[in-house]
Structure 1
Amino acid sequence: MVRGLRGRMLLLAVLGNLVWSFDAKANFNGKLTVEIDGFKNKEGQICASIFASSEGFPGDRDRVLQKQCTKITDTPFPITFDNLKAGRYAVAVFHDQNNDRTLNSNLFGVPSEGFGFSSNPEILARAPKFSEAAFLVAGPDTNIQIQLKYF
């Protein structure tokens, strides 16, 4: 019985260490680098928004966790988001060719500037859902690629 008790105590100690290590990793602040490619030209800027939930994704500016617009200097072009907790996120980007910080569209609502989403979901008649663009940040450095689309 002592041997069985010692074995159980060892198992509890190991499990306790696993729970502690998972908890410790969940409390980090990670960095996400988004590499954007597929530009039609280098005019204007690239604007990127990161969302932590489906609420407001992809276009509600008030629900964005972080956003930034940066002049395009190279292709592919990297954008970095810092201080992200472990979890699921989705990124929406657009090529703001006229520097108005808005994804312009025609009379029918079809974007007239390039755009893209994390996980590069297929775009048919609507913007993707959060779940279709979501990815996991689970370490100190996460890298994803987004390919721009133009209609």
Structure 2
Amino acid sequence: MLIDDLEESNYAIAIFHDKNSNDKFDTFFSIPKEKFGFSNNARVFLGPPKFEDASIFVGQNSIVEIMIELR
């Protein structure tokens, strides 16, 4: 995925695999039924990670490539 024209700042990314194509993140009693991940492969414990744990710095005119492990 390419995201361009971002201002220099810290950003965090969250993604999920919408396996059944229903356009939502499916859970069962708050337990994810579909794979998901965060930038920096930030760990999850009873909720999403802190922004500081998932954030990456994007500088002006920079190209940043990140890999996110789906869990």
| Corresponding letter in the other structure for 2:10 | R
Percent identity, please: 36
Which residues in structure 2 correspond to 1:1-151 (within 5 Å)? 79-106=1-28, 108-138=29-59, 139-149=61-71
Give the TM-score of the pair, scaled to structure 2.
0.89
TM-score, structure 1 as length reference: 0.44
**Higher strand proportion (structure 1 or 2):** 1
Instruction: Provide runs of 4+ in structure 1 moved above 3 Å.
Output: none
Larger Rg: 1 or 2? 1
Report SS of the residue matched to 1:142: coil
Q: Which one has more relative contact order, counting CA pairs under 8 Å at least 6 apart?
A: 2
5+ residue gaps, structure 1: 1-78
Unaligned runs of 5+ in 2: none
Question: What is the number of equivalent residue pairs in this alignment?
Answer: 70
RMSD, aligned α-carbons = 1.1
Which is helix-richer, 1 or 2?
Answer: 1
